[in-house]
Chain A
Amino acid sequence: MNKRTLFVGISSFALIAFVALAVIMFARPAAFRGATFGEPYPPAPEIELTRSDGSRFQLSETRGNVVLLFFGYTSCPDVCPTTLAELKLAMERLGESRAGETRVLLVTVDPKRDTPERMQEYVDHFNPSFIGLSGTEAELDKVWKDYSVFRLEVPGASAAGYTVDHTARVTLIDRQGSMRVSFGFDTPVDDIVHDLKLILND
């Protein structure tokens, strides 16, 4: 009797767990692999910064294209070049026509060293279609706040001078200018490509 109760208990638990899992896995056909923003999708705040040729950049000008937005700095030896190399590979995997509908933006967290020229020169090493952006501290301060970007200059004994701790997350913005998905540092390239395709086909 005891054993039978136990058996029934375990079986029903397993059934409930299975059904719950099935619901989670199959309820939403378009399952993103990155972290999603809930509906209604938050509009990506406007970004107004300077490009390397001195012209002004506005995020709203990219409407109609999909945007990948990352914050970093050009003296960063590890996390930033790794992320940019991943985005470079993601663009290659996406193919020319879909990559052509995607804009990759790098906004600096280090305006003292990163001029707009320096930013573009840096991203050019990865992919000349990437856009490097800088601006005044006040302009950047607004962008960092709007996108909840943490950044902190950390003095140290390094020959590189100070380093900058910062938020390392790539945000995916859709053609309508809404924030849809974001990717943490450890996201595999194919997960980014997968989600980009879903958004591009949206």
Chain B
Amino acid sequence: MMKSKLLILLALIVTACAPAKITTGVLAVRDAWARPAAQGDNGAIYFAIENGTENDDALVSVASDVAGAAELHLSQMEGDRMSMRQQETIAISAGEAVVFSPGGLHVMLVGLARELKNGDTFEAALQFENAGEKIITVTVRDDLNDD
């Protein structure tokens, strides 16, 4: 008797603590930023994608005038070893968010056509499987692990 009550309580706590599904009805891209970088160098764009729709979606490609190519990449640390691999698509399940951040998922800008200076903004076009094209504004800034 005691045990079953405890189990119910535990189940309630677990349910309450589980991240809530995003139910905004739209797919949104937030907080897009890129680190300053020199013309000709490579750069990276970071952002958060929130899929508030009821359909699973996927980011399939990115394009921007600031670079010769924009590619989806994933950096991963295995102990101290950093590896970076190009990704074909990035899945974003219905109701979930996927965060692109330094040392993880990023859009690699290959061959910058111009310098990215602190405070600059530029546009990028994100192509999603279901949500179609989203044009985002990317702000150039230094965002660091600074807590």
Contacts A82-B35, A186-B103 hold; do A154 and B145 have CB atoms under 8 A apart? no
- Closest B residue by C-beta to A81: B35
Please, which residue of chain A has its CB at the minimum distance from the CB of B83? A165
Task: Collect the chain B residues with CB atoms within 8 Å of residue A77's CB.
Answer: 37, 42-44, 73, 106, 108-110
The total of Cβ contacts below 8 Å across the A-B interface reads 109
Which B residues between 130 and 147 are near A, CB-CB below 8 angstroms?
142, 144-147
Nearest neighbor of A74 in chain B, beta-carbon distance: B41
Count contacts on A: residues with CB < 8 A to the other chain.
Answer: 34
- Docked pose: A125 CA to B39 CA in angstroms: 11
Check A85 for interface membership: any CB of B closer than 8 A.
yes
A77-B44, A78-B73, A79-B102 are contacts. A189–B146 as well, Cβ < 8 Å? yes
Number of interface residues of B (CB under 8 A): 33
Main secondary structure of the interface of B (DSSP, over half): strand
B residues neighboring A (CB under 8 Å):
35-38, 41-44, 68-69, 71, 73, 75, 77, 80-86, 102-103, 106, 108-111, 142, 144-147
What are the nearest 8 A-B pairs in CB distance? A159-B69, A168-B82, A77-B42, A165-B83, A82-B102, A159-B110, A77-B44, A77-B108
Q: Which residues of A contact B (CB under 8 A)?
A: 74-79, 81-82, 85-86, 89, 121-122, 125, 150, 154, 156-160, 163, 165-169, 184-190
